[in-house]
A and B are shown apart, each in its own frame.
Chain A
């Protein structure tokens, strides 16, 4: 076929002049080619957006991940724990120990309580230290070990794991038995390696038979560094608590803690609930909003700054590209591109760059959240909304950054552009 056109070709009459136009698809293919023809440069241009969007995702992901970790720990322990303090109310001076003898049983009757026990730290004068022999050899340094008086329920509510032996029970308590349960660290320090020989420890000059060694506890870890003796025994030997008042540790089932906290005081002393102060677990909602506090906002601000830098980067490179490609713009104008087509093409290029940066940033951010979580053995938590919004954020960055350069490109007069 012949390539030449014969008249009548389209006539330049005002009413018949065909405005040139282009398929939208072709326009975007052209824009994409503009991005892909210099991949290295495009990648560098998108870098700021990659970092900005990546930081955005990482900050959101890491904060929601750590917040959910706190929640999990909260659920396991704090949410199932109530502490009741013996304040003595207005009779504090007259009543050194407000907890009744059967405090454990009274509380354990409440719905949702798994174990409960009273404890206080025994005040020891300087000559009443904990030793493995009645008379301290002169070369042995004095050991400061806490002695804790506890009702039998306390060790249960602490969630113990025994290294050896057993806990004392209500029999030991009721009969003022001189028995003791030691933390493993204390046992080692006192040179107790086995319970087979029925070893004893001396508190002052009073001997206590060691019947159990704790390997670990879930709550109240200071028990591991203490000698725990039955409450009644301690009261008989050293009297009621003197400088520190008693407390009660209550372990509950999940969800029961607040209710138990409300009921505990009345259950202990119906006639004097004012002697006690219950400390319920913190509300998880307030806990979470505490976590999502200042630091979080600072990081988000940083991410925003990154995005801004990304936008400036894209704007700058697009502007440079417009100047560099002035001849191309002139050529396209000569071949029939309207100013509008040029605007859309350059805008599409910068938007594509922004979107590309947004997608890469989203991937990088997600990878870093998952990586950190894996290293910390956390469960990564990422909001789906954030993951979907992040590429759009990149796209918006590119779009905004491209506005001025694209407008400028459309204003290049063709004849002048072609002279380059």
Chain B
């Protein structure tokens, strides 16, 4: 993987950092540079509270860096209005959140369909695609279960189905295996590898070294400072 291609990188941070205004101000992410090419599989590791989720929020357009620039597909996201950022999120980014964030009173199928609601997918197509996504994560038989009736691992997989079903080109996962036993975790990681093989740009946050080993690149964040042990000095 080399950064010198004709097309701009999918994700490019230029001295982007985020300081929560506080008080007291918290430098959750010190200004850093990072490029992620189209189709790459990047893992992010680091201790708790180091700024991993903050980093994910920035590249997922949920938060804006307080310093520096974030270019998505070569385009400066600072120029986007809130409605446009929302449109980009809906169309190109799939999220798997650390806390799942499933709606407690809605069935698994409805939770998955939620990702297509704001894409104006017609109702019948939604239902069909939700079923396919649920089958893909191995939950084709639990379509009508409520999140409270599902195990932690199953909930995690519903969240992944929801992230996939919107057909994103960028998949952002925050601790996707945090609640899974090793077997389930393995099948989930296989699924992510599959998706990556199909061309999906994937960023996975994890504590687990074995999970990190699945990616092509491993980025580390420590106290808000990002580093990439295997790659030095090749920044453009």
Contacts and interface: CB of A to CB of B under 8 A. Distances in A.
Interface of A: 1-7, 9-14, 17-23, 26, 30, 33, 37-38, 327-328, 330-339, 341, 413-415, 418-419
Nearest to A30: B117
B190 to A, nearest CB: 14
A131 B83 CA distance: 101
Contacts of B75: 11-14
8 contacts: A3-B132, A4-B198, A13-B73, A19-B86, A20-B91, A33-B106, A332-B114, A334-B89
A26 B123 contact: yes
B168 A5 contact: yes
B106 A337 contact: no
Given A23-B120, A335-B118, A7 B199 contact: yes
A89 to B, nearest CB: 86
Interface in B93-107: 95, 97, 99, 101, 103, 105-106
Interface in B110-153: 110, 114-115, 117-120, 123, 129, 132-133, 136
Interface of B: 38, 53, 57, 60, 62-63, 72-73, 75, 77, 79-80, 82-84, 86-92, 95, 97, 99, 101, 103, 105-106, 110, 114-115, 117-120, 123, 129, 132-133, 136, 162, 164-169, 195, 198-200
A2 B118 CA distance: 21
A9 B169 contact: yes
Contacts of A414: 62-63
B168 A9 contact: yes
Contact of B84 (A17, A38, A341): A17
A2 B198 CA distance: 9
Contacts of A37: 105-106
Residue from B38, B86, B106, B165 whose CB has the most chain A CB atoms within 10 Å = B86
Contacts of B169: 5-7, 9
A33 B146 CA distance: 14
A397 to B, nearest CB: 25
Decide if the interface of chain A is mainly helix, strand, loop or mixed. loop
Contacts of A419: 53
A21 B87 CA distance: 8
Contacts of A331: 97, 101, 103, 114
A366 B62 CA distance: 51
Contact of A38 (B73, B103, B105, B114): B105
B91 A21 contact: no
B60 A334 contact: yes
B184 to A, nearest CB: 19
A341 to B, nearest CB: 7
B56 to A, nearest CB: 10
A418 B56 CA distance: 12
A30 B165 CA distance: 19
Nearest to A18: B87
A408 B227 CA distance: 39
Contacts of A413: 63
A17 B80 contact: yes
Nearest to B174: A418
Given A1-B132, A20-B90, A335 B195 contact: no
A26 B198 CA distance: 31
Given A4-B164, A12-B92, A21-B118, A418 B106 contact: no
B82 A418 contact: no
Contact of A10 (B60, B92, B200): B92
Contact of A19 (B87, B101, B103): B87
Contacts of B118: 20-22, 332, 335-338, 341
Residue from B114, B118, B129 whose CB has the most chain A CB atoms within 10 Å = B118
